[in-house]
Amino acid sequence: MSKTDKKKGDLKKKIVHELIEYWINVCYLSIVFAAFTQYRRFVLAAYDITYTNYWVAVIEALILAKVIMIGDVVRLGRGLEQKPLIYPTLYKSFAFIVFVGVFKFIEHVIMVLWNGEEITRELFELSENGFHELLANSLVVFVAFIPFFAVKELGRMFGKDKIFALFFQRRATP
């Protein structure tokens, strides 16, 4: 096999690996966000308010999964990997929630500029009206990140194949 064939094979493996990891992230986040969307719908229904933004959870998961992969590429949250697993899990959950918050802020600014609205007025309105929702959303994502990064850390420690086998393959009976 020539060097270029080997590079093409390695690149193909890396792309497939990244796509699989991306879709695993999307699936996990979609399930979590869909559960909270359903919860929001039930709470609002108690006040006779109809909530139909079901696809927001999926769109949010698609975007957030990519943001997580970008954070992994830049090695975000890698400072405590030699400590007990609770430390890197909580540290990465917090670091990534800040990273996601920065992306959400940038996304909001881009949307304001795209719509031709005045940026200072929109940012003031966001800080005045949307702070509690932003805080609640951040708390939900932080809590969702804890088991997400706990499993990733277990995979880092024991190997992703071992974790996959533990969760998805039948075990021999004693």
* Residues 3-19 pLDDT 10s: 666 777 788 888 998 99
Give me the domain span that covers residue 28: 1-61
User: Are 82 and 160 found together in one domain?
Assistant: yes
Q: What pLDDT, in 10s, does the model give residues 55-87? A: 888 888 998 899 889 888 888 878 788 889 999
Q: What is the total count of domains within the chain? A: 2
Q: What is the pLDDT of residue 30?
A: 93
Cα end-to-end distance, the chain, whole Å: 45
User: Are 50 and 79 found together in one domain?
Assistant: no
9, part of any domain: yes
**pTM as predicted:** 0.78
User: Are 83 and 48 found together in one domain?
Assistant: no
User: Are 130 and 101 found together in one domain?
Assistant: yes
Q: What is the pLDDT of residue 36?
A: 86
70, part of any domain: no
128, part of any domain: yes
142, part of any domain: yes
User: Are 161 and 98 found together in one domain?
Assistant: yes
User: Are 164 and 81 found together in one domain?
Assistant: yes
CB atoms within 10 A of CB 47: 6
85, part of any domain: yes
Q: What distance lies between CA 88 and its chain's CA centroid? A: 16
Exposed, middle or buried: residue 129 (CB in 10 Å: 0-12, 13-18, 19+)? exposed
User: Are 57 and 103 found together in one domain?
Assistant: no
Identify which of 18, 53, 49 has the alpha carbon closest to the alpha carbon of residue 38. Answer: 53
Token pair of 141, please? 């994502």
User: Are 54 and 140 found together in one domain?
Assistant: no
Dihedral angle, C-alpha 70, 73, 78, 79, nearest 10 °: -100
144, part of any domain: yes
69, part of any domain: no
User: Are 44 and 88 found together in one domain?
Assistant: no
The answer, yes or no, to whether residue 112 has pLDDT greater than 90, is no
Interval 116-127 mean pLDDT: 73
User: Given pLDDT bands bounded at 50, 70 and 90, which one contains residue 53?
Assistant: confident
User: Given pLDDT bands bounded at 50, 70 and 90, which one contains residue 129?
Assistant: low
User: Are 112 and 34 found together in one domain?
Assistant: no
66, part of any domain: no
